[in-house]
Structure 1
Amino acid sequence: MASIVERPKKTGVTYQVKWRQDGAWQTENFGNPDSAGQFKGLVEAHGNQWPHGWIRGKGFVEPDEHPDDAPFLAWAHRYVDRLTGVEARTKSDYKRDIDKHFAGLLHTGPDGVERRYGGLVHSLRDGSFNPATVCTVTEDDVQDWVRVQEEGIRDPHNPKEWLVRKASPKSIANRHGLLFCIFQAAVDAPQPLRVTNPCAKSKLPRTDDQTEEEMCFLEHDEYARISAELRAFDPKAADLCDFLVGTGLRWGEITALQARDVNKRRKTLSIQRAWRRQEDNTFAVGPPKTRKARRVLALSDSQMDLLRHHLLGCQPEGFIFRGRDGAAWRHSNFYNRKWKRALDEAIKKGLTKRPRLHDLRHTHVSWLIAANIPLPAIQVRLGHESITTTVDRYGHLVRALDGEITAAVEAAMPPAPRAGLHAVKAG
């Protein structure tokens, strides 16, 4: 905590704010107690650190212009253009996020004045702001951007409409991650434009608060209801969903499966490719999502029987799961024509959940965890690059081993002394 010390001088009393920062005493002097009190509050609000932008003995001073400073948006696009090992579609998505979420929204109100909302800007001491540049953006500017992403901005002339819609914690974390990388490139440049990354200390909304809301886990009987409705009007669609929930494959992986990926003798399935969205918004078959997404899955006898039925008359490069025209299913077509229809019927008959197709992957994991399958094995089966991803998403489901855990703890602990009994020394 900071303190204020009065120091009498010939010219009057000086009010010194004093605090410890990283083990060393820091001080700043003021001519009146009100200014000292305000500064003391700023120091404490910054975790007993010098307030960002404050120069000792001068106050808040705008940073000097760097000779190589550049508009933030131009630098951000330059950063994306120079990325290597990144697909064109991914670069296009990055640039879309930069233009949409960092540049903000231009909106013309009823007064005919065009204003910008929600973008990353550099706030000045007088309450106004300037367009963001690589060098002028501060930690407070980034935190203000995070707050707007979290709270959104309503149209002042039509409160029922949003100018900037609220973003989920996960979306904010993803966008902030891109922002961090853009500024870090300025820090790591051969001739650095910045000394620190203004995103380094940002406080982001907690993403785990929405884990259970975003995922839908089906019990066996709940999925059976949906599968029965699917099978009633399209058995092939039901087979595809049964295989999804039985393997945990991603939609882009299962619809890219080809006959040559099945090893009938070993009863395995090789995941070698997936559908990927291209820069022009079309889809093409390419490598899986990550390096570890290339994997081999062991299949049960019933799953092999299902595949044999679909492999009849299929060429080695032919898709295993396909529509009537022999082409691979597209997610939107399958969802609207098959999944939604079956789901609506199941809900009419008592189903209380409305899962997405991707929730079949989550359901697969929940069934494995209920059967005491270890998370590292689940990580490999799902093709997660890191065990951290598996634990973060599904660790809260690991309750089946509670009995074994408490029994192990009980066995390891020394027996507690009984009430009323005392140790007696042998004579």
Structure 2
Amino acid sequence: MASIVERPKKSGEITYQVKWRQDGAWQTENFGGEAGDDQAAQFRALVEAHGNQWPHGWTKGIGFVEPEQHPHDRALGEYAHSYADGLNTVDGRTRHDYKRDIERHFLGAPYTGPDGHAVRLGGLVHTAPDGTEHPPTVCNITQADVNEWVRRQRHTVTAPDDPEQILRTKASPKSIANRHGLLYMIFQSAVEAEPPLRETNPCKKTGLPRQDEGTDEEMVFLEHEEYARISAEIRAFDPAAADLADFLVGTGMRWGEATALQTRDINWTTGKVNVQRAWKRQDDGSFQLGPPKTKRARRLVKLTADQLDMLRRHVAGRGPEGWIFRGGQGKAWRHSNFYNRKWARGLDEAIKKGLGKRPRIHDLRHTHVAWLIEQNISPAAIQARLGHESITTTIDRYGHLLNNLDDEISSAVANAMRVVTPAPREGLRPLRSA
């Protein structure tokens, strides 16, 4: 903690010294004049807010100093768009999403006031030491500016003259982390540019919200009986649609993977299905086949005998490139069509009859994992089956469900630590207490 020490001078003037320890060494800053006590108190608060470190941008004995303007500085929006355009490792949809985030979240939600003046709200801005705000550039954004931007992302943005008009809803911790990751890459490219536009990346030490906030609300896990209710309602009016739902919850596949499966992807000898393509949304809203989400998402998924029997019914009479699961006119299912015509209808009926949850189609994937954990399947095996790029993803998303294994874990530890008392050797007497 920082402290303030009064240091009177011979002239009778009193100066105020702020003292604190940083990395084991004493640091001090002095303030004088009529407002010296208030300035010292404000500076002490800044030091403590920065974790007992010198405040970012503060020069000892001078105060906050604006960073020198780089001769090749550029508006952040312009630079960010050029960065996204230059990426050759992402598909068109990902580039479109990046540019959308740049416009809406980095530059702010657009708003036109009653006077016709257009502004952006809730985006990145540079706040100078005197409190004035300036449009963001590659060089003027500071770590404090990024932290303030993260804070703004966590709140709903409304119109200044109409609080009921929502311009942008508050972001989830995961969305904030994703947007911050893009911002980090943009600023890192400025650091690594030749010549460099910045010396440091202002996103490097950002405090991000925990990503497990609200996880239980976002993911819905169904018990076996709860899912059976939904499946039965769908099967009552469309058995083929119920088969697709059963396949999703029984394999844990993503929607885009399961609906991209073709007859040739089934190996009837090994009983496995080859996940090697998935549907990808394009800039214009259409869908095209592409590779799965990640490299590890290319995988073989073992099926049960019942699942293989179901697939035989669906592929009978179809060619190698025929879709296993088909919607109207023999075409592959689209998520919106299946949800509105099949899933929502069956779900509403199940809710009318007592189901207390409203899961999304993607929650069938989460439910599959919960059922595997219930059967003591290891996280590594779950990672491979779901096609997660890293086991960290599996643990972060479903680790809280592993509490169900507490009894098995404690039993295993007890067995490992059990010491078998050795039989005494012949001719030796046991020790007696004195």
TM-score by length of 1: 0.93
Match of 1:189? 193
SS across alignment from 1:181: helix
SS across alignment from 1:362: helix
CA–CA distance in 1 between the matches of 2:39 and 2:132? 22
- 1:268 and 1:297 in contact (8 A); partners too: yes
| Residue 125 of structure 1 pairs with residue 132 of structure 2 | no
Give 2:4's aligned amino acid: I
Matches within 5 A, 1:2-401: 2-9=2-9, 12-31=13-32, 32-401=36-405
CA–CA distance in 2 between the matches of 1:261 and 1:295? 11
SS across alignment from 2:403: coil
User: Relative to structure 1, is the Cα distance of residues 399 and 43 closer, same or farther in structure 2, using a 3 angstrom cutoff?
Assistant: closer
Give 2:147's aligned amino acid: Q
SS across alignment from 2:404: coil
SS across alignment from 1:398: helix
Determine what percentage of the aligned residue pairs are the same residue: 64
> Which shows bigger deviation, 285-294 or 156-165?
156-165
| Residue 426 of structure 1 pairs with residue 427 of structure 2 | no
CA–CA distance in 1 between the matches of 2:226 and 2:101? 38
Give 2:433's aligned amino acid: A
User: Relative to structure 1, is the Cα distance of residues 87 and 411 closer, same or farther in structure 2, using a 3 angstrom cutoff?
Assistant: same
> Which shows bigger deviation, 162-171 or 95-104?
162-171
CA–CA distance in 2 between the matches of 1:310 and 1:411? 48
SS across alignment from 1:218: coil
Alpha-carbon deviation of 1:410?
4.6
- 2:104 and 2:110 in contact (8 A); partners too: no
Unaligned 5+ segments in structure 2 are: 420-430
> Which shows bigger deviation, 115-124 or 254-263?
115-124
Alpha-carbon deviation of 1:382?
0.3
Aligned length: 419
Match of 2:428? none
Q: Deviations over 1:227-283 (max 9, x none)?
A: 111111111101111111110111100110010000111111011111111233211
> Which shows bigger deviation, 161-170 or 333-342?
161-170
CA–CA distance in 1 between the matches of 2:432 and 2:165? 81
Unaligned 5+ segments in structure 1 are: 416-423
Alpha-carbon deviation of 1:105?
2.4
Match of 1:418? none
- 2:111 and 2:159 in contact (8 A); partners too: no
- 1:117 and 1:164 in contact (8 A); partners too: no
CA–CA distance in 1 between the matches of 2:62 and 2:173? 38
Alpha-carbon deviation of 1:27?
2.3
Q: Deviations over 1:339-382 (max 9, x none)?
A: 11111111111111111111111111111110111110010000
CA–CA distance in 2 between the matches of 1:127 and 1:353? 48
CA–CA distance in 2 between the matches of 1:4 and 1:220? 63
User: Relative to structure 1, is the Cα distance of residues 258 and 184 closer, same or farther in structure 2, using a 3 angstrom cutoff?
Assistant: same
- 1:122 and 1:129 in contact (8 A); partners too: yes
SS across alignment from 1:270: strand
Alpha-carbon deviation of 1:162?
1.6
SS across alignment from 1:400: helix
Alpha-carbon deviation of 1:153?
2.3
SS across alignment from 1:43: helix
SS across alignment from 1:275: strand
Q: Deviations over 1:132-182 (max 9, x none)?
A: 011110112111111111012222322222233211121111111111111
CA–CA distance in 2 between the matches of 1:101 and 1:244? 34
TM-score by length of 2: 0.92
